[in-house]
Chains A and B, each alone.
Chain A
Amino acid sequence: MISELEMGKAESELELGLGLSLGGGTAAKIGKPGGGGAWGERGRLLTAKDFPSVGSKRAADSASHAGASPPRSSSQVVGWPPIGSHRMNSLAAKSAREEEEAGKKKVKDDEPKDVNKKVQVGFIKVNMDGVAIGRKVDLNAHSSYENLAQTLEDMFFRGNPGTIGLTGQFTKPLRLLDGSSEFVLTYEDKEGDWMLVGDVPWRMFITSVKRLRVMKTSEANGLAARHQESNERQRK
């Protein structure tokens, strides 16, 4: 049956292994160097434009031109999450209204919400440079910076088979906190400033953090200086 398929040479990377045993050998490997084993699709995870069929991303572009796509969704994937367009429009209208009353509403909302937030900090968004799809981490489930850094390393970098790391090539521990690796952990606080993680006591950190970013060390250099400044500002 399979031999009937006359695929061109370009397709030889597609492994037609249905007759073979289950397991890693039957993975469809689509020409992404450095990808191995059953999770050869790491390339796909990195960005939607790694799909050979470009429909997904282009559709996203055309949809956003037509104004039909959902607003500001960070992963920019068309039709995801799967919410009907009526509901999407209603949410979009709601967020537009909220933006209009941004100043007023933020003040009103931050107060009662902050009380709740201190009790249940909940999930914080984490993005990593070079990875299109963000993740979320529950700060409540962590007790210290080391704890948090470990989770993030597991999330983004672990390369063991059977567990999924988003990029496969980093297998040594990252040490996100001591500035010695290629990446550094930063966060945005409630005032919108980006700071290096680790300087303030943990408890203070979790009440002021809004979101996290795993940034390339090379890009973070300017941050150290700003970080000093804003620390000084805080002390004043």
Chain B
Amino acid sequence: MDRRFPFKVLEHIFSFVDSNEDRNSVSLVCKSWFETERRTRKRVFVGNCYAVSPLKVARRFPKMRSLTLKGKPHFADYNLVPDGWGGYAWPWIEAMAARRPFLEEIRLKRMVVTDECLEKIAASFRDFKTLVLTSCEGFSTDGIAAIASTCRKLRDLELRECIVDDLGGDWLSYFPETSTSLVSLDFSCLDSEVKLSDLERLLSRSPNLKSLKLNRSVTLDVLESLLRRAPQLVELGTGSFSDELDPEEIAKLTKALSELKQLKSLSGLWDLLPEYIPLLYSLCPRLTSLNLSYATVQMPDLIDLLSRCSKLQKLWVMDLIEDKGLKTVALCCKELRELRVFPSGADLDETDVTLTEQGLVSVSEGCPKLESVLYFCVQFTNAALVSIAKNRPNFRCFRLCVMEPFAPDYRTQQPLDEGFKAIVERCKDLRRLSVSGLLTDKAFEYIGVHAKKLRMLSIAFAGDSDLMLHHLLSGCQSLKKLEIRDCPFGDTALLENAAKLETMRSLWMSSCFVSFGACKQLSQKMPRLNVEVIDEHPPKTRPDSSPVERIYIYRTVAGPRLDTPEFVWTIHKSPEVGVSRLSIR
């Protein structure tokens, strides 16, 4: 017991420690620091909902006000995790409802959230303020209605890219009749129409609303009436932007848009028609964030818009922007920090669009603050990657998706090893990297040697052998999340580097050559790893040499989970048992 620092003083000092990483370090110093820290932590982040039990978390942090949880592995976004895998929010909601009634904020990502969960939240946390669900599923608009009607202090209700059982737009009318405390409302992922009058009335009685993201079914002709009631908006996600308006309506809408003096962020813009681009001009000079990734506008119309956005920090577009448009961005958007370029064709082999590596090179040359990129492109070159790395050593997040699997440098036919080498050598602060194109083991040797701060790495269709994985696991000191698909290795590197896996949050491998025997060995070797085999088409017998479809390995202090579906096997720790599927309904 440290007599020099009474609890109150420590507590006061710790109140200045915001970052959870720092707090985790603080809690390891000694028992009294652990105790003080845990009693003062307000924002709790659990990166893998199966790494620890809800009960333990509830007990450890009595002053918890905000809980953030992540469930399914990231590759679930691309349909690589079968439905029903897990990630249920209910045990967490239940545990918190019973023990932490003062919880105010819940943020969930890739979790299964049912209407019961939402009803429980509404019923249990009387000061509940913030619900943010990202890529979640399992609930209907009834659950949302429960939140809207019961949480009297609700400030944030955001549904981002969720899969919702949409029973209709009635839920919007469930907000309290008197003025609401809403600050942000995002229902952009819902399909059904909401009643205009409900929405208008809600806006009129929500004076604090700063962020509003409509869904696509809100048509352009009603936008003006909504904006008139919420001129204080800082973030706006429009609905569809393609309906026919007569000149008078256009004039009114133009005026309403120009009245949004605080607007910094614009999104939605579904099917934006080129003739409506001028309506947005008044907003452009103030915009720091612009999401055009659902706006099917092509060149050269985009130039007129982008050249006016000199304060832009974040830009999401489709590849319709082409190299030319990115050149404009490089010239005009000197504050740009984040760029994402998505493919515009559903049939990805039929793009007529001229987006090449040159586009990214231009932006890396022209935008000195650029630090985060997601770029989909058909082909790439080493020379371009080297230029990009030279121009922009300040990348923190570099995700390049060369859409052709195994595509080499199309000018030299060489693998893209040297290009990615330049990236990891020069970008010393790189935290997140996605590689693609033709890559040999050499590329991963470079990554292992240079990418010391790398936390998350995504790999597909790459490498030659186990060496690839070995380089990564033995080299990347800060690696926390590794996800790999369709690469030709497995057992040896995994077993050699088993200890490393406990320093990471998780490892996902699908369509690689990992054998069942290796999974068993790994699990037996490492007691605090859950080794999950995910196999939708399991063989009748499972000899040790048989390959597994997918494995998901994560560290945990909660032991094997009890909610696995029939296609998931958690490898049991004791060799005689082999595999177990413990489950409770």
Contact = CB atoms under 8 A, between A and B. Distances in A.
Interface of A: 1-2, 4-8, 10-11, 14-18, 22, 26-28, 30, 38-39, 41, 44-45, 51-56, 58-59, 62-63, 68-75, 77-88, 90-92, 94-95, 113, 117, 120, 122-123, 125, 133-136, 138, 154-155, 158, 162-164, 166
B510 A55 contact: yes
Contacts of A90: 294
Interface string B361-384: 000000000000000101100000
Contacts of B540: none
B492 A18 contact: yes
Interface stretch (B111-119, B246-254, B347-355): B347-355
Contact of B79 (A8, A14, A78, A87): A78
Given A5-B491, A53-B513, A63-B79, A84 B161 contact: yes
B410 interface: yes
B466 A91 contact: no
B521 A5 contact: yes
B413 A133 contact: no
Contacts, number: 200
B189 interface: yes
A53 B511 contact: yes
Contacts of B440: 38
Contacts of A15: 465
B484 to A, nearest CB: 13
A85 B77 contact: yes
A126 B342 CA distance: 23
**Chain B interface residue bracket vs A:** 35 or more
B78 A41 contact: no
B79 A7 contact: no
Contacts of A154: 413
A92 B123 CA distance: 39
Contacts of B403: 81
Contacts of B343: 81, 83, 91
A15 B489 CA distance: 10
Given A72-B347, A87-B293, A164-B413, 20 more contacts: A8-B544, A11-B515, A17-B465, A26-B466, A27-B465, A38-B440, A38-B465, A39-B464, A55-B550, A56-B486, A58-B536, A73-B348, A75-B405, A78-B79, A81-B348, A82-B77, A136-B349, A154-B413, A162-B414, A163-B413
Given A55-B535, A133-B404, A164-B438, A91 B78 contact: no
B346 A1 contact: no
B466 to A, nearest CB: 6
B331 interface: no
Contacts of B296: 94
Contacts of B512: 53
B78 A51 contact: no
By CB atoms of chain B within 10 A, which of A28, A39, A69, A84 has the most?
Answer: A28
Q: Is the interface of A mostly helix, strand, loop or mixed?
A: loop
B257 to A, nearest CB: 24
B200 interface: no
Contact of A84 (B77, B347, B376, B406): B77
Contacts of A53: 511-514, 547-549
Contacts of A134: 349, 404
B493 interface: yes
Contacts of A85: 77-79, 163
B508 to A, nearest CB: 12
A191 to B, nearest CB: 17
A1 B518 CA distance: 13
Interface string B544-577: 1101111000000000000000000000000000
A7 B496 contact: no
B513 A88 contact: no
B547 A18 contact: no
A135 B378 CA distance: 9
Nearest to A24: B464
B277 to A, nearest CB: 17
A82 B536 contact: no
A92 B407 CA distance: 25
22 contacts: A5-B491, A5-B521, A16-B466, A18-B467, A28-B464, A28-B489, A28-B513, A41-B488, A51-B486, A53-B548, A55-B537, A68-B79, A70-B348, A71-B347, A73-B348, A74-B349, A77-B405, A80-B78, A113-B352, A133-B405, A163-B408, A164-B413
Given A53-B549, A56-B486, A14 B342 contact: no
A11 B545 contact: yes
A155 B493 CA distance: 31
A94 B408 CA distance: 31
B75 interface: yes
Contacts of B515: 7, 11
Contacts of A125: 349-350
Contacts of B441: 22, 26
A94 B240 CA distance: 13
B551 to A, nearest CB: 10
By CB atoms of chain B within 10 A, which of A82, A83, A162 has the most?
Answer: A82
Contact of B536 (A59, A70, A94): A59
B517 interface: yes
A5 B496 CA distance: 10
A1 to B, nearest CB: 6
By CB atoms of chain A within 10 A, which of B189, B351, B466 has the most?
Answer: B466
Contact of B545 (A10, A26, A44): A10
B374 to A, nearest CB: 10
A72 B89 CA distance: 35
A73 B342 CA distance: 16
A26 B77 contact: no
A136 B342 contact: no
The 8 closest A-B pairs by CB, nearest first: A55-B549, A79-B78, A95-B346, A91-B346, A53-B547, A56-B511, A8-B545, A86-B161
Contact of B517 (A7, A18, A70): A7
A94 B345 CA distance: 9
A84 to B, nearest CB: 5
A154 B411 CA distance: 11
Contact of A18 (B470, B521, B550): B470
A88 B343 CA distance: 10
A5 B513 contact: no
By CB atoms of chain B within 10 A, which of A39, A56, A79, A155 has the most?
Answer: A79
Contact of A14 (B75, B349, B495, B513): B513
